[in-house]
Amino acid sequence: MTQSKNFRLFVSLIAALAIISTVRLWTSQDALTSSDTIGTALRLTVPILLAGMAGLWAERCGVLNIGIEGMMIFGTWFGAWGAWQFGPWAGLLFAILGGVFGGLVHAVATVRFNIDQVISGVVINLFAFFGVRYLSELVYVGKQGGGISQSPPQKWALPRFNLPILSGGEIAGWKSPDFLGWLELQRWFILGDLGGISRGLTHNLSWATVIAVLVVPASAWVLWRTRFGLRLRSSGESPVAAESLGVKVNHLRYYGLLISGGLAGLAGGTLSIVASSYYRQGQTAGRGFIGLATMIFGNWRPSGILIGAMLFGYAEGIKLVASDSITALFLFIAAISGVFFVVAVIRRKRVQIAVALSAFLLSAIAYRTVDTVPESLTQALPYLVTLIVLATANQRLRPPAMAGVPFRPGEPH
Amino acid sequence: MQAGSKKSSQTLPLESAHVVELANISKSFPGVIANRDISLQVARATIHAIVGENGAGKSTLMKILYGLHQPDSGTIAINGEITQFKSPSEAIAAGIGMVHQHFMLADNLTVLENIILGYEPTKYGVLSLGNARKRVKELATSIGVDLDLDLPISELGVGQRQRVEILKVLFRGAEILVLDEPTAVLVPQEVDELFTNLRKLVANGTTILFISHKLDEVLSISDQITVIRQGSTVATVSPKMVDRLKLAELMVGSDLPSHGKRTTLVGEKIQLSTNNLTVIGKNRKNPVENVSFKIFESEIVGIAGVDGNGQFELCEALLGLVDIEGTVEIGGKDASKLSIRERLNQGLAYIPFDRHREGLMLAASLWENSLLGHETSLSRGPMIDFDAAKKSCKEIIDRFGVMTPNELVPAFVLSGGNQQKLVVGRNLATAPKVLIAAHPTRGIDVGAQAAVWEEIRRSRDAGMSVLLVSADLEEVLGLSDRILVMFDGEISAELDPKSATPQILGKYMTGTQ
């Protein structure tokens, strides 16, 4: 059962690689799978991934968190402040604390006072936006390089490293060969792409990125393998049942929201400390909401969220690194939609046939007719890709059953 | 977990023969007094039944015993030791386990996760799943239950879910087992199985508190029976000393209304009929397959069946909530293409399966709830006529005996039985031509049940046709003029209630005949 599942996953991965490799060689757009693109994509994936994980922790314990965006804003501001004052590691810690503060506000409002969870989240978003603007006025205005919408630049950056042997990292002063870089330069079918992708994931890495990616298995382990995790999930699935078994649902919802806030804060911190070196107003740019979208896309599971976040990250990354390649991406989408179309026809799923066919036609036409893509369209690309995947992926969504429903312990149910 | 409050039975002094002793328990909620000065003593290794009308305070009392509510006054003594339970975990630690009326299971979690939740075997906070699996398997084998522990609860049937609940309680090493309406969802054969298990448990020294309003079951299984009426204890009797009627009278506090045979005749006009009605299943078997029936004026047709054999989908199809193949006729006219609103205007009314999900807005006031579906008649232009709506709600409250302080309180304040009376009243108040009644008396007491039956009979005598869907065989047999049995989406039998028995029905309902 699981073996055939793994085999299918392996085959579809190879097939996807083969398709994109063909497209790359056909259009000579090496940027599609270059280590540059993938590295950028990974950096852009991180904040979305963390935002998605923040959503996961909140909804698994039974509370909707629309306020992730706001908690990320706290993260960007406090992170940048901490990094400016005490260095990047302290900055990340402050970012987490800023998010935890947002999570605590949300918890007190929704768990303690039973305020509507959506309203509380929206208020946190507004409060964060204007709150940090006020703080900037107090702290940043008048400092060199700082202002009401921007912090002074940080003096230090987080260390970056390359993986030894594979991507040319150093071992005790000895510079090891960059095997993947060499492989990428050969431009061989599939192998060249594999080299580019692997090098992008292992080259010029920030430790913060490593930590962020480790959040995924760590969360999965805590949620599914520990007592705390089981109880937290039960608070989101059936708080009444959990309470009847002596689980303190509201305590767990507090913990869930504090963790959620902390992850959102860390997501903000990576934006103002890792992806740039200062806080800027509007830095989060709606990534909190994209994080929520990846959570739904990922079916409320850590691995699914990782895939969803990588999808967004890649689409955004290619836009930044090589916007010329976007036309090639149209061809890639056309090819993928074509495959989905065939699968849908074999399985006789009418809706999926229609969606895959229209996606195929649209992207094929776009590839033939469009030379340069306007900026506004390239910005919409990640959303377009997600829309297509959401429509064609035949998944059974299983959200936590009681996420969003307030729970008052000890009342007659 | 509070260690130390659990004692093994051997070391106890003799004077604490009473495992559970409740003394002068009182508890009130805003606007409702649930328990008033209740006292109760339960002997070791017996089955002690607690019976009473809905809203009499049985469930509240058990929730107090289980630490879910705290009493306003009174004491709880377990094994002769006065205790206070601030939370269920303290009650669990004292050896009390509860199987709730509405299953307390998380649908998306697996069987194993549900069983160990709150009592997880762990090492440094990490679940010892292998160990847990082994222990649950052993327990299951010891009571003869076979379950796939990795399935999510949502894929189990009702009987299996109850077994999970019982395993859950046993896993905690409970010595005192509280069962709240355990047979409400079971067919007769399953009830027998359950009773066999319970007797085994008692033989092993477990004490069982059995809450029910099915009097025959109570009489057959219990060693002692305590009757509760309007929040107070009325009597504690031995089942040998009383019969069904005496027990019912103790519960209701007055002579029961007699049912009486019907004196009117079934009409000749067909009011509701279906022809080869099929509901197409998405990615599964059709939930309703080629169902054809006719209901005449002034006739009650009962549909007996175990939940989940297509009755729910049949009702939805009749109302127009799902796409169908075949036809539905209301009052002799084809209604297959009509919208829900148009069907209701043709004189259709519906008492839904689940009053919480489809029948009521729990957080809204009673008068708003009784207004639902009748907005047009209780409005002036686009505006709701508040006075008329409240007056109509008061009429329903009076006519159906809904126990409530007034019509302004939110629906969740009422007990289940009173909520149901409101739903039934709302649908009968407008004198519909055809009533689809799905479990019209589920979870309500004999007194209220008799009242609802009486109202349905009276409306039928006045010409109303009724499609009665119920899993309560007594209800189907007592009320129907004709019985159809539904199994696996099809009508498997048509029976005459005069000659049918619960055993015969049970066989058709489970597909063994």
**Which ipTM value was assigned to this complex?**
0.81
Residue environment code for B231-248, b if the CB has 16+ CB neighbours within 10 A, otherwise e: bbbbebbebeebeeeebb
Q: Which residues of A touch B104 (CB under 8 A)?
A: 238, 240-241, 244-245
B482-487 and B300-304: which strand pairing? parallel
* Distant-in-sequence, close-in-space partners of B483: CB < 8 Å, separation ≥ 6: B301, B302, B303, B304, B476, B477, B494, B495, B496, B497, B500, B505
For residue B406, tell me if it sits in a domain.
Answer: yes
For residue A312, tell me if it sits in a domain.
Answer: no
The answer to whether A257 and A58 have CB atoms below 8 angstroms apart is yes
* A62, A94: one domain: yes
**Residue of A59, A57, A80 lying closest to A272 (CA atoms):** A80
Query: Is A226 in contact with B126 (Cβ distance < 8 A)?
Result: yes
**Which range, A54-68, A321-335, A354-368, is most confident?**
A54-68
- Most B CBs within 10 Å, among A240, A244, A249, A348, to test the B interface: A244
Tokens 């699914």 correspond to A304
pLDDT higher at B420 or A216: A216
Domain end, chosen from B120, B152, B173, is at: B173
Query: Is A245 in contact with B168 (Cβ distance < 8 A)?
Result: yes
What is residue A381's predicted lDDT score, i.e. its pLDDT?
64
* A278, A330: one domain: no
What is residue B31's predicted lDDT score, i.e. its pLDDT?
63
What is residue B229's predicted lDDT score, i.e. its pLDDT?
83
* B286, B305: one domain: yes
The answer to whether B106 and A237 have CB atoms below 8 angstroms apart is yes
CA gap B476, B187 in Å, rounded: 13
What is residue A133's predicted lDDT score, i.e. its pLDDT?
94
Q: Which residues of B touch A405 (CB under 8 A)?
A: none
CA gap A259, B332 in Å, rounded: 62
B232-237 and B176-180: which strand pairing? unpaired
Domain end, chosen from B149, B173, B197, is at: B173
CA gap B335, B323 in Å, rounded: 13
For residue B255, tell me if it sits in a domain.
Answer: no
For residue A19, tell me if it sits in a domain.
Answer: no
CA gap A314, A33 in Å, rounded: 10
For residue A413, tell me if it sits in a domain.
Answer: no
For residue B368, tell me if it sits in a domain.
Answer: yes
CATH (domain of B238)? 3.40.50.300
Domain count within chain B: 4
* B90, B111: one domain: no
What is residue A382's predicted lDDT score, i.e. its pLDDT?
62
Structure tokens at B278: 């099929």
The pLDDT tens digits of the residues spanning A375-409 come to 676 667 666 666 666 665 555 677 888 888 888 77
Q: Which residues of B touch A237 (CB under 8 A)?
A: 106-109
Average pLDDT, chain A: 86
What is residue B234's predicted lDDT score, i.e. its pLDDT?
87
Residue environment code for B402-426, b if the CB has 16+ CB neighbours within 10 A, otherwise e: bbbeebebebebbbbbbbbbbbbbb
Q: Which of B69, B114, B117 sits opposite A231 (nearest CB)?
A: B117
User: What is the 3 state secondary structure string of B276-323?
Assistant: EEEECCCCCCCCEEEEEEEEECCCEEEEECCCCCCHHHHHHHHHCCCC
For residue A56, tell me if it sits in a domain.
Answer: yes
pLDDT higher at A68 or A39: A68
For residue A187, tell me if it sits in a domain.
Answer: yes
* A68, A127: one domain: yes
The answer to whether A184 and A196 have CB atoms below 8 angstroms apart is yes
* B279, B217: one domain: no
Domain count within chain A: 2
* B77, B192: one domain: yes
Tokens 């189907």 correspond to B476
* A109, A71: one domain: yes
* B343, B437: one domain: yes
The answer to whether B329 and B318 have CB atoms below 8 angstroms apart is no
Torsion of CA B355, B356, B357, B363, to 10 degrees: 130
* B275, B342: one domain: yes
| DSSP-derived 3-state class of residue B130 | helix
| Residue A100 pLDDT > 50 | yes
User: Structural domain of residue A293, as residue ranges?
Assistant: 28-164+178-301
For residue A389, tell me if it sits in a domain.
Answer: yes
For residue B4, tell me if it sits in a domain.
Answer: no
**Residue of B86, B455, B180 lying closest to A248 (CA atoms):** B86
* A289, A378: one domain: no
| Residue A136 pLDDT > 90 | yes
CA gap B94, B4 in Å, rounded: 9
CA-only gyration radius of chain A, Å:
22
For residue B2, tell me if it sits in a domain.
Answer: no
CA gap A36, A328 in Å, rounded: 17
Q: Give me the half-sphere count of Cα atoms (radius 13 Å) on the Cβ side of residue B356.
A: 10
What is residue A79's predicted lDDT score, i.e. its pLDDT?
96
Q: Which residues of B touch A247 (CB under 8 A)?
A: 117-118
Q: Which of A233, A243, A410 sits opposite B109 (nearest CB)?
A: A233
What is residue A391's predicted lDDT score, i.e. its pLDDT?
65
pLDDT higher at A337 or A69: A69
Average pLDDT, integer, range A95-110: 97
Count CB-CB contacts under 10 A for residue A383.
Answer: 13
What is residue B283's predicted lDDT score, i.e. its pLDDT?
64
CA gap A248, A245 in Å, rounded: 9
Torsion of CA A163, A168, A169, A175, to 10 degrees: 160
CA gap A384, A326 in Å, rounded: 13
Q: Which of B87, B107, B113 sits opposite A246 (nearest CB)?
A: B87
Q: Which residues of chain B have pLDDT under 50?
A: 1-15, 256-259
Q: What is the DSSP string of A353-398?
A: HHHHHHHHHHHHHHHHH-SS--HHHHHHHHHHHHHHHHHH------
The answer to whether A54 and A65 have CB atoms below 8 angstroms apart is yes
* A227, A261: one domain: yes
CATH (domain of A97)? 1.10.3470
Domain end, chosen from B148, B173, B198, is at: B173
What is residue B261's predicted lDDT score, i.e. its pLDDT?
63
Give the phi and the psi of residue A169 in degrees, each rounded to 5: -75, 165
* A385, A253: one domain: no
CA-only gyration radius of chain B, Å:
24
Strand order in the sheet with B176-180: B96-99, B176-180, B207-212, B47-52, B224-229, B232-237
Query: Is B100 in contact with A244 (Cβ distance < 8 A)?
Result: yes
For residue A336, tell me if it sits in a domain.
Answer: yes
What is residue A1's predicted lDDT score, i.e. its pLDDT?
46
CA gap B73, B84 in Å, rounded: 11
Q: Which residues of A touch B88 (CB under 8 A)?
A: 243-246
* A276, A356: one domain: no
Tokens 């049949």 correspond to B314
Q: Which of A230, A401, A412 sits opposite B29 (nearest CB)?
A: A412
Structure tokens at B150: 């990795």
For residue B256, tell me if it sits in a domain.
Answer: no
Q: How confident is the model at residue A50 (pLDDT cuts 50, 70, 90)?
A: very high
* B239, B341: one domain: no
* B479, B442: one domain: yes
| Residue A188 pLDDT > 60 | yes
The reply to whether the predicted model has a pTM over 0.80 is no
* A223, A295: one domain: yes
What is residue A298's predicted lDDT score, i.e. its pLDDT?
85
H-type alpha helices, A226-286:
227-237, 239-244, 249-269
* B55, B149: one domain: no
Q: Which residues of A touch B116 (CB under 8 A)?
A: 230
E strands of A76-115, at which residues?
none
The percent of residues above 70 in pLDDT, for chain A, comes to: 92
**Residue of B415, B340, B411, B330 lying closest to B370 (CA atoms):** B411
| DSSP-derived 3-state class of residue B491 | strand
**In the 8-state DSSP scheme, what is residue B257?**
P
For residue B9, tell me if it sits in a domain.
Answer: no
For residue A2, tell me if it sits in a domain.
Answer: no
Query: Is B92 in contact with A233 (Cβ distance < 8 A)?
Result: no
Q: What is the DSSP string of A169-219?
A: BEETTEE---HHHHHHHHT-TTHHHHHHHHHHHHSSEEHHHHHHHHHHHHH
* B199, B300: one domain: no
User: Structural domain of residue B367, as residue ranges?
Assistant: 355-431
For residue B232, tell me if it sits in a domain.
Answer: yes
Q: Which residues of A touch B (CB under 8 A)?
A: 225-228, 230-231, 233-234, 237-238, 240-248, 398, 400-401, 410, 412
* B342, B474: one domain: yes
State the amino acid at position A359 in one-letter form: A
Average pLDDT, integer, range A156-184: 77
Average pLDDT, integer, range A144-149: 87
**Residue of A1, A89, A61, A47 lying closest to A312 (CA atoms):** A47
Q: Which long-range contacts (CB under 8 A, 24 or more apart) does B338-346 make?
A: B343/B318, B343/B319, B344/B373, B346/B433
- Point out which residues pair with B207 in neighbouring strands: B176
* Burial of residue A95, with CB atoms counted within 10 A of its CB: 0-12 exposed, 13-18 middle, 19 or more buried: buried
* A141, A273: one domain: yes
Which residue is closest to B120 within chain A, CA to CA?
Answer: A227
What is residue A396's predicted lDDT score, i.e. its pLDDT?
64
* A392, A255: one domain: no
* B446, B510: one domain: yes
